[in-house]
Chains A and B, each alone.
Chain A
Amino acid sequence: MGAASSLPIPLTSDDLQRGRGARRISPNLVAGSIILFVIIGLVIAAPLVTSYSPTALNATQALLGPSLHHLLGTDELGRDEWSRLLYGGRVDLEIAFLAVLASFVVGTAVGCLAGYFGGWVDVIAMRVVDVILAFPFFVLVIALVFILGPGTKSIYIAIIATDWVSYTWIIRREIIAMKRHEFILAAAALGYRHIRIMIRHLIPNCITQAIVYSMSDVVFTILTIVTLGFLGLGVPPPAPEWGSMMSDGQQFITTHWELATFPGIAVVIAGIGLSLFGDGIADLLRVE
């Protein structure tokens, strides 16, 4: 907030009609959106961007350096690195977004019920949350994947099972503060059911923080998936995945640095894009 913004700015008639219309589209949001748009666009349009299969083996073409044919070269099994990077993004981003979405939904529902009804519902829900929060996140995820066996399904289960508690924690606190407001009493006085009061009146007033958090949560979840891949607990081969690509590439780091480096750069760029986007969303949704 600079000095200029504290001066009274005359409202246009448009502002008067829609007071909420004066929203801040921050540079962060623009930059984040552009980065995300490019990444997601490339990943979705992977078959159009590259003609190579991410899994086709070609022993004669192994470990070629970057060239016009293979933009980022090929790995030790002769697979095109650029193609693997794009298809790997599909896997990483898809798991991250879906797992966060599921955690968001489950966590919000549990947090809302716990905060709204209080009493024993709250006690039970929050003890479960406490137990899950008591373990270090990575330890729990790795243990779960280890127990369930490697595979996409295990990764989903492990992430959702550990991640929903963050949303429960955020939402419950907001709901407890919000349910004391008079409009909730007013909604009860109008004879609305609990479910209607929660969905139509409480959650829309409480969800902002959880949405903002979910953006950084996607970044964190991508890192989790990549880490699992790097540790060999990720998506099983031959499917491309950024973490396992880094893991495979590191043995050639002295001769073919690009194999391990570019997946890492992809993670960083995706993380920056999502973080900027999350910041922008936070500005946009900030309660006035």
Chain B
Amino acid sequence: MTDLLLSVRNLRVELSTRREIVRPVENVSFDLRKGQTLGIVGESGCGKSMMLRTILGLLPRGGRITGGEILFQGTDLLKLSNQQLRDVRGRLIGMIFQEPMTALNPVMQVGEQIAEGPVAHLGYTKKAGRRRAVELMQQVGIPDAARRFSAYPNELSGGMRQRVMIAIALACEPQLILCDEPTTALDVTIQDQILKLLVQLQESTEISMIFVSHDLAVVSQICQSVAVMYAAEIVEIGSVASVLADPSHPYTLGLLRSVPDFDNVKAVLESIPGIPPSLVEPPEGCRFRARCEFAQEDCASGDFPLLFSDGERASSCIHSNSCREAAQADPIIGSRVR
């Protein structure tokens, strides 16, 4: 596979605080091809955001990578020096944050912030950086870009700020953009505009994206493939169409069931019973066991690696068949297959 852009292999991360050790990323592996968008879905605290930070080598204090590799264009990012890593950040891999208000410098003009990347990484002059910033602001659909250049973040609406964030991420023409719930903090209508913008940018620039979200609907809108994360592990991975239509891990099924169904207003919104396990002392065996309707005795011990059914489709559930049957029987999910 020559068009492989990013390949994460058996990544493990450990966070030690004063009292305990948390393992927010355990044995995570996935591939991302050029021009592809991978969605990562999961509940809050399942390790999605930590994984993005790990890719950029920006773990919080006490964070440590205990195993695995992150191959970006064949180079292991974990083996790079700080200096080399700085050249990767921003220049080859960009990042879009969840809350554009806090992720922008409040006392710097937004145009300056967009121009900073090209000036710092690509040796642009101040003037050229400014031109580039205005160009990018137009590209991400900020009206009246030349005048907005000198606006401060608090003068812009949430949607405009997120467009600024996107422009900053795009400024050095990276090959990969990591999106950390970029639409969660926005109104639904604005959310839709931003998603459309991301899809459109991806089509025009062939940039690859990793899109972290807790919202399956959003992921299905812009991603080609999806990885479902639960309690620091990837439990199911595959193309968006196949995972959504034919979930083969009970957690994915639970997530799908808990998406509101507006065609069937009477239906009670389902939720997955229980809470995710502690990442300090995760339970033996399958981590979803305690909340799973298909759990059997053999789920209580052993390792649960991803089992590949065909090239790209995998689930860590050893009872995936009963899960799939239940999915087919579900009127809403089943209807997607038919």
Report the Cα distance A2→B154, complex, angstroms: 25
Contact between chains at A185 and B99 (CB < 8 Å): no
Assess A196 versus B120: contact at CB under 8 Å? Given A181-B102, A185-B58, A189-B56: yes
Interface of A is mostly: helix
Contact between chains at A189 and B95 (CB < 8 Å): yes
Contact between chains at A205 and B106 (CB < 8 Å): yes
Q: Which residues of chain A are near B90, meaning CB under 8 Å?
A: 189-192
A-B contact count (CB 8 A): 71
B residues apposed to A, CB below 8 Å? 56, 58, 85-91, 94-95, 97, 99, 102-108, 116-117, 120-121, 152, 154-155, 168
A residues apposed to B, CB below 8 Å? 17-20, 181-183, 185-193, 196, 200-201, 204-205, 288
Contact between chains at B117 and A183 (CB < 8 Å): no
Report the Cα distance A185→B87, complex, angstroms: 16
How many Å from the CB of B63 to the closest CB on chain A? 13
Assess A191 versus B108: contact at CB under 8 Å? Given A20-B152, A196-B120: no
Contact between chains at B104 and A190 (CB < 8 Å): no
Contact between chains at A201 and B86 (CB < 8 Å): no
Beta-carbon nearest neighbor of A189 in chain B? B95
Q: Which residues of chain B are near A196, meaning CB under 8 Å?
A: 120
Beta-carbon nearest neighbor of A15 in chain B? B155
Assess A204 versus B108: contact at CB under 8 Å? Given A182-B102, A192-B116: yes
Report the Cα distance A200→B86, complex, angstroms: 17
Report the Cα distance A200→B106, complex, angstroms: 12
27 contacts across the A-B interface (CB closer than 8 A): A19-B152, A19-B155, A20-B154, A181-B102, A182-B99, A183-B102, A183-B103, A185-B58, A185-B97, A185-B103, A186-B104, A188-B89, A189-B95, A190-B94, A191-B85, A191-B89, A191-B91, A191-B120, A192-B86, A192-B116, A196-B120, A200-B105, A204-B105, A205-B105, A205-B106, A205-B107, A288-B154
Beta-carbon nearest neighbor of A203 in chain B? B107
How many Å from the CB of B18 to the closest CB on chain A? 15
Contact of A19 among B58, B85, B154 (CB under 8 A): B154
Contact between chains at B107 and A204 (CB < 8 Å): yes
Contact between chains at A191 and B95 (CB < 8 Å): no
Report the Cα distance A288→B91, complex, angstroms: 34
